[in-house]
Structure 1
Amino acid sequence: MEKKEPKINVLVSWWTKRDGIKDYWLKIDKFLWRYIKANIIKNTNGLTLNPFYFINLAKKCKKCDLLHIQHNYCLFGSLFNKINNIHAFLFYFLVKFPKGPKIITTMHDIVEPRKLNFFKRFYLDLMNLPIKLFSDKIIVHRTVVRDQLIRQGFKAEKVSVVNYGVDDVKNLMVPEDARRKFGLPERKTIVQFGFVRPDKQYELVIDALTELPDMQLFIFGDAPYKDYLDFLKKEISKKGLEKRVIFKDKVPQHMNYEWLSCGDVIVLPYARISASGVLSDAISAHLPIVTSDISEFKETEKQGVLKTTNVYSKKEFARTIREVVNNPKHIKANILKYVKNNNRNEIAKRTKQTYEEVLNEK
C-alpha cells in the first residue's frame, strides 16, 4: 500500500510588502517543493487585537499533519508594537487541541533576558510560554541562539539549529564594473544596506571613514526612522564627508546583488541581531564582511566568512576595514565553501529532514 504523503502547513506573516521573514520562507519554499509539499497559510492581519481572527486562523492552520510557524513576537496580536503575542496562547492551544497536528516553531526574533529588568523578563516568559508548551520542535538559526533559549528554560532536546541559508548567486559583477554601471565614483567602497535603523549603528562607520581618506561609503535601503536618518546626515556634514557618503533609498529587491557588487567590503556594526537576512545577502554577494564583535557574528566568524572587530574604537574599526579590503582572497575562498554547504537547496533538505523526524516521533 502506498504511503500517504503528510499534509504540511506553514504559517507566515503577510501584512507588509517588505517582510524579512516572509522573504526568507519564500526562498526556502522555492527549493523545498523539490522534496516535500508545504502549503503556505498567510497571516494577513497579525497585529489585530480581535481574538476571532486568530480563532479562525487556528481552525485553518490545524487542518494538517504538521504546522510550521514562522514566528516573531508580533505574529499573534500587538498593541502599539509594545505589548505583543497577545493571542499566542489562544492560537497554539486551539491548533493543538483537540487532536491537533505536530507543531514546529521557527523563532526568528530572540530576546536576551539578561539585559532586561525583572518585569520585562516576566513578560518575555509569558510570550514564550505557548511556544514552550505546544511546540514539538523549535528551530533557530544559530547555536548561540539555541544556548540562549536553553538558558531561558526551553528543553534542549526540543531546540534544533538549521542555518538561515544563503543564495547561490552566479555571474556577479566586479566592483569596478558595478560602480561604472550605476554611476558611482571610482574608489574603494564600503557598503551598508537594509533598513536604516539605530541598532545598526551606521554612525560608527561614518566615524571610521574619517580614518580612511581614500574610501567612500555607499548606503542603500529603506530609512523608516527619519530622526535617525537626519542624525546621520548631520554627522556626515559635521565631519565634512558629504562627497564620500552616498545614499540611495530605493533599490528593487531583485537588484540587491547588482548594487552590492559596487562594494569592496560590506560592514555590519550591529548592536544586536537574531536571524539576519542582511548577513545572508552579504555572504551571497561574495564580498568580504566586517562586523561588530557580538556573539552571533563571532559564531559565523568561525566559518572564516567575516571578520569581527571592536567597532567602538574608530581606529581599530578602520584598520580592520583596511586589512580586509587589501587582503580579500582568504575570506572570499571561505565564502565559496560556505555557500556550497548552506545554500537554500541544502537548507530545504535539512528542513525536510526535520519535518520527517517530528512526524515520526511517537
Structure 2
Amino acid sequence: MMTKDKKNILVITNMYPGKISSTFGIFVKNQVESLRQRSMNIDVAAVKDPRMGKKNVLRKYLKWMLRILSVLLMKGKTYNLVHVHYVFPSGLFGLWFKKLFGTKLVVTAHGGDIDKMPKKSPFIYKQTKSILLQADHVIAVGEALREEMIQEFGVNPSKISLMSMGVNREIFAPVPQTEAKERLGLSDDKQQLLFVGNIIEAKGMLELLSAYKQAKQKIETLELHLVGSPKQEVFLNQMKEIIERENIKDVYFQGGKPQEEVALWMSAADAFVLPSHIEGFGLVAVEAMSCHTPVIGTDVGGLSYLLQNDHGVLVHPKDAGALAEGIEKVIQDKNLQQLLINNGEKRARENDQEVLVDRLQEIYQKIGAN
C-alpha cells in the first residue's frame, strides 16, 4: 500500500512500450525507469498499442480511460504528483486528480500535441489551452514548442522548462564502424544512409526516396536502410511501388528494432537522415550523435536548434533536391563528417538522460510535490 510518506507518482501517457511494440514511446519508459532507480514509486497508465485504424484507436483509448478511472477510484489520493505526456488527451485525465485530490500536475509537450493536435478542432484547442494553464509545471522538449505555448496559449514562461527526454548514453554509445557493420552483415565497401522512425509521410519518406535516388547517381555505393515500423500499410505499399517504378536500388526496410540494435545501426551508418515535416525535438537525431554518426535533418521544430552551428546539416523541409545535396556533402566530405561527430558528441552530453532526470526531480521539488 502506497502512502504519501514516500514520493508516489502516476505517469499518464498515450505512448508506452508493450507486447506489440517494444519501442513505442520508449523514451517515456526510459525516464520512468530512471526515476524508479531514484527510489520513487511510479505507476503507469498508458496506451501500449501503436496500431492505428478507427477500431483499434477506439478500443485502445477506451481501455486506457477505464484503466485511469480505476486508478483514480482505487489509489487516486495516494499520489503526490501526476506527470502526463502529450497535452491532449492525457492532460484531461491528469486534471481529474488535480481537481479531486489537489495532486500536483506536470505536463510534458512533445510536438504534435502543440503544433498539430490543437488545430484539428476548436474543442481540442480549448482543452489544450485549459490543460496548459492549469498545470503546475509544463515541460517543452523543444524551443519552438516553448515559444508557441507562450505566444499562442498564454502560458506563463516562469512555469515552462525546456528539456528533452534525454538519451541513454549507455545504450547509445559508439561502436567502431567496421565492427558494427560486420555484426549487422553490412558491406564495408558500401556507404550506409540510415533513417530511424515511423515509416509515415510526415517523416519525409517520399522526399527521402527522391533525394536518395539523386544522391545514388553520384555515389553508386550508397545504400538506404529504413529502421522503423510502418504505421500505415497503404503508405508502405505506396513507397514500395515508387521504388519499383523508379527502379531505386539498394533500399532496405529493416522493420522495428529494439534500442540496442538501433544503436548498432547508428554506429554502422555513414550518415543519419531525419527529413521530417514537423519535429518537436528530434531525440533520435541526438541518439545518432551519441553514436558518433553525422546527422542530416530538416530545418523544422527542435531539429533547427539541435543541428544549428555545425552540429548537423540542416536542409529545407519537403525539398528533395536540398536533401540530396546535404546527403552528398556529408557522405563525401570526411572533414565535415569529423566536425559533425565532434559537435554532435557535445550535444549528446547536453542531453544525457541521467542529467536531465536530475533536473526533472528538481522540478518536482520546486512545485512542492512532497
TM range (shorter): 0.7 to 0.9
Structure 2 residue runs of 5 or longer lacking an equivalent are: 48-58
Pairwise CA distance, 1:52: 5.9
Q: Secondary structure at the match of 1:348?
A: helix
1:317 and 2:326 aligned = no
1:64 and 2:79 aligned = yes
Cα distance in 2 between the residues matched to 1:35 and 1:116:
35
Alpha carbons of structure 1 residues 65 and 51: separation in structure 2 relative to 1, 3 Å: closer
1:148 and 2:162 aligned = no
- 8 Å contact kept, 2:292–2:345: yes
Q: Which residue of 1 aligns with 2:21?
A: 18
Q: Which residue of 2 aligns with 1:282?
A: 288
Alpha carbons of structure 1 residues 26 and 303: separation in structure 2 relative to 1, 3 Å: farther
Q: Secondary structure at the match of 1:196?
A: coil
Pairwise CA distance, 1:270: 0.6
Q: 1:55 aligns with which of 46, 55, 69?
A: 69
Q: What code does the residue aligned with 1:162 have?
A: M
Structure showing the higher helix proportion among its residues: 2
Q: CA RMSD in A?
A: 3.1
Q: 2:200 aligns with which of 197, 203, 218?
A: 197
Q: 2:214 aligns with which of 207, 211, 214?
A: 211
Q: What is the TM-score of this pair, normalised by structure 1?
A: 0.83
Q: Which residue of 2 aligns with 1:226?
A: 233
The worse-fitting range, judged by mean Cα deviation, of 350-359 and 193-202 is 193-202
Alpha carbons of structure 1 residues 113 and 165: separation in structure 2 relative to 1, 3 Å: closer
Cα distance in 1 between the residues matched to 2:173 and 2:201:
34
Q: Secondary structure at the match of 1:274?
A: coil
- 8 Å contact kept, 1:138–1:158: yes
Q: Which residue of 2 aligns with 1:165?
A: 166
Q: Which residue of 2 aligns with 1:32?
A: 35
- 8 Å contact kept, 1:46–1:75: no
Q: Percent identity?
A: 18
The number of equivalent residue pairs is 343
Cα distance in 1 between the residues matched to 2:321 and 2:264:
30
Cα distance in 2 between the residues matched to 1:264 and 1:236:
22
1:347 and 2:361 aligned = no
Q: Which residue of 2 aligns with 1:293?
A: 299
Pairwise CA distance, 1:74: 4.9
- 8 Å contact kept, 2:196–2:284: yes
The worse-fitting range, judged by mean Cα deviation, of 316-325 and 65-74 is 65-74
Structure 1 residue runs of 5 or longer lacking an equivalent are: 77-87
- 8 Å contact kept, 2:105–2:136: yes
Q: What code does the residue aligned with 1:349 have?
A: D
Alpha carbons of structure 1 residues 250 and 160: separation in structure 2 relative to 1, 3 Å: closer
Pairwise CA distance, 1:174: 3.2
Pairwise CA distance, 1:287: 0.7
Cα distance in 2 between the residues matched to 1:29 and 1:138:
17
